[in-house]
Amino acid sequence: MSRVVTGWSYFGVRNPQHVAEDLDDMIRHHANAVLFTLSEEDVAFYLDTMRELVELAHERGLLVYVNPWAWGGVFGGEAFSGFLARNPDARQIDSAGEPVPAACFNQPKFRDAMLRWLDAASHVGADVAMWDEPHFFVFEWDTELAARKGRWTCRCPQCAIRYREQYGGEMPTQRTPEVEQFRHRSILAFLDEMSREARSRGLKNSVCILPPTFRLDDGLLRYEDVFALEAIDYMATDPYWNEKSDATWVEQQYRQNAQWLLRHATASGREPEIWIKNFRVRKQQECFIPLATRISYEAGIRRVFAWSYLGSAYMSSLRSDDPLSVYEIQAQAFALCHEQAR
């Protein structure tokens, strides 16, 4: 395998015959890795099918990642969470005492669910568990709850117990430095436990943090603390552009985040990864794809992935304006990375 790792995320198709054809197509387009989303639906209804898909990928020499796609509403992904419907008492509670559609990292029920997810990831034979954008609920992302902006999570009973144990007092409703530190520690403790459990099951771990330059209210105060977790192998981020972004924005964001990622990954002995946007790419934005890929490679990152396969053509909410063009342009950018590594 090339010392450069490139590939796409893949979801929405679970027919092994069609998946085999798509995997062959990815390889022709310079992929040597693939990420299969492993959602709650997949674990409930497609578990052995997912094992077949991983076997197909391994037969072709592909490195296989899986991620807990939208599990509990605390990871990235366009999938509904059955966990939340069955465990309303495990939801995050905001600072005004109202629940939000996301599980709490500190809830034992959710941690148990994630251990079962790791059992599933091991069962299907994946190589890497990718923890994708773990975050406390971000109100500005939710159109129905955006009016609650200014609130924070989580003040559920379990968080109140843990806060009292750590700080010796009741958890305030205001956003104090202690509350900020508590949220940060909660995510770190969750990732530490899950990555150790993943490693005990023979899986490597990748954590994709939200871009440090975006300064989103995800609960993490110091992203570099994630790098220090013992069982983390790869650190990633995904500075995706939006419809209003221009080339200057893309260049600045990918350069700053790639350099930051490489610096901290190198210092902690981790390998850096970066993700390139291949979804909702608008007309005239296709040129951002080779730009972001080149900047990331030139910064020293040798693990470059794209979300998602075929320009997200088969999911209408994520579909790019010209998905096949997006796919071909990304493939050419991957090819250049491999050529430069020779």
Q: Which domain range does residue 122 map to?
A: 5-78+104-135+184-341
Number of domains in the chain: 1
pLDDT value, residue 1: 42
Look at residue 89 and tell me if it is in a domain.
Answer: no
Phi, psi of 298 (to 5 degrees): -65, -25
Q: In degrees, to the nearest 5, what angle opens at C-alpha 45 toward C-alphas 31 and 135?
A: 65
The predicted model scores a pTM of 0.97
DSSP 282: P
- Can you give the length of the chain in residues? 342
β-pairing, 99-103 vs 91-93, is: antiparallel
Determine the pLDDT at residue 162.
98
39 part of a folded domain: yes
On the question of a cis peptide bond just before residue 287, with omega within 30 degrees of 0, the verdict is no
CATH number of the domain to which 248 belongs: 3.20.20.80
Residues 6 or more apart whose Cβ sits within 8 Å of residue 263: none
Query: For residue 143, is it within any domain?
Result: no
Domain-located, residue 151 = no
Helix, strand and coil content of the chain, in percent to the nearest 5, comes to 50, 15, 35
In this prediction, the residues of the chain whose per-residue pLDDT falls under 50 are: 1
pLDDT of residue 149: 85
* pLDDT score of 99: 97
Helix axes 108-124, 177-200, angle to 10 degrees: 30
Q: Is residue 170 part of a domain?
A: no
The reported pLDDT for the residue numbered 10 is: 98
- Structural domain includes residue 97: no
Residue 229 lies in a domain: yes
In a domain, 129, yes or no: yes
Hey, what amino acid is at 212? P
